Amino acid sequence: MNSTVLTILYTLLDGTCYLSHPFPQGYGTYTRSAFLFYFAYDGSIPFIVCDMKKHIAILGAGNMGTALAVVVAKAAPVVLWSVEADVVEAINDTAENPRYLPGVTLEKNVRATGTLADAVIDAQVILVAVPSHVVALVARSLAPLLNKKQIVVNVAKGVDETTLQPMVTVIRNALPRGMRGRVATLSGPSIANEFASGLPCAVTVAATTRPVAEAVCRALRSPRFRAIPSIDVLGTALGGTLKNMYALGLGMVDGLQLGMNAKAAMLTIALQELRLLFQALGAKPESAFVLSGIGDLVVTGMSEHSRNRRFGEEICLDASCRIKMKDPAQTIEGVKAVAAVAPFAHKKKLHLPLLFTIERVLFRNEDPKKALDAFFAHL
């Protein structure tokens, strides 16, 4: 079918407007100011699938949450929630978050609040971008504020240290039963400083049903920020968590100046171990070979911006940096993941020499050089 001119009637605060725009058969969008509509049609009669007049809430105004606000605000109004009053004030007064994303100007349709209800009520999509150790608390606070039309998206990367459940499951379990099918998770190679500055980025958005995943992708997607829908929730969530463990080891290679050959070898072994862990934790082994697996592993293990890689490097240069492992203000997700996953792997008698090497350096005070020399000697 050729393109058809559709006439859409809707009412703004200043009166009634008639808009016309050509769309091909299938899905189309029309944007005007902060209003965004999605249309689907069967070849003759259009109907609205998703009215994006409502804002998108982002819970957590750290580096990732603020960067997502930059991307999302191109399509819809954004409300950022933060418990840090100075961050809220800075965003509202200067359109910038100098603490977590300095030098990046936010769109005019972004505002910040310190009140959770202010951010959540009437939001179309709610992105949970807080550190993993507070996800459960935030999810419980979020639960009574939700309605059944909203979608909640986990962005945090981590697992519950007792149950090994990924954060998307932690959120789902905290919400009313009727909302659990409207929870998704986002993961993939996404260095916040890069995509916030307009560099290309692709991530996976996974939900138990494809329409929910696709709705989130439509809300986030822009020409340079590509969101790809999936129904592999467990694999997507685990990939975003487990790769942080191996980024620590890749950082140790940098700290010891062992070179790119050693780093490439370690990266390959890390991917093999990821496959084994995926299978042991109930996910598909092939989930290791997608954006949220190998994609995220590569960027987290290689980027200078990666907190986990940087900590692995620092521990080789200054053993006193171990104090960060016990500081709740220092979110090093890979350390928490090793503490949770390594005991499980020992219990299951999995052959994961790289993971166990990283564990010994972190929690048994083994010298990083001796540990990595022994690891490579036994390949």
Residue positions annotated with a catalytic role: 243
Print burial letters for 11-45: b (CB count within 10 Å at least 16), e (below 16): eeeeeeeeeebebeeeebebeeebbbbbbebeeee
Longest Cα–Cα distance in the chain: 74
Cα–Cα distance between 220 and 190 in angstroms, integer? 13
Strands 15-23 and 125-128: unpaired
Output the six-digit token pair for 269. Answer: 């072994």
| Placement of tokens 């999936």 in the chain | 230
| Placement of tokens 């990821």 in the chain | 274
Phi/psi class of residue 107: alpha, beta or left (left: φ > 0; alpha: ψ in -120 to 50)? Answer: beta
- Interhelix angle 307-317/333-347, rounded to 10 degrees, is 80
Output the six-digit token pair for 350. Answer: 């999995």
**8 Å CB contact between 176 and 145:** no
Output the six-digit token pair for 241. Answer: 């968590």
**8 Å CB contact between 309 and 248:** yes
Cα–Cα distance between 252 and 107 in angstroms, integer? 38
**8 Å CB contact between 205 and 216:** yes
Helix/strand/coil for 285: helix
128, β-bridge pairs: 59, 154
**8 Å CB contact between 309 and 245:** no
Phi/psi class of residue 29: alpha, beta or left (left: φ > 0; alpha: ψ in -120 to 50)? Answer: beta
- CA-closest candidate to residue 244, choices 130, 105, 340, 371: 340
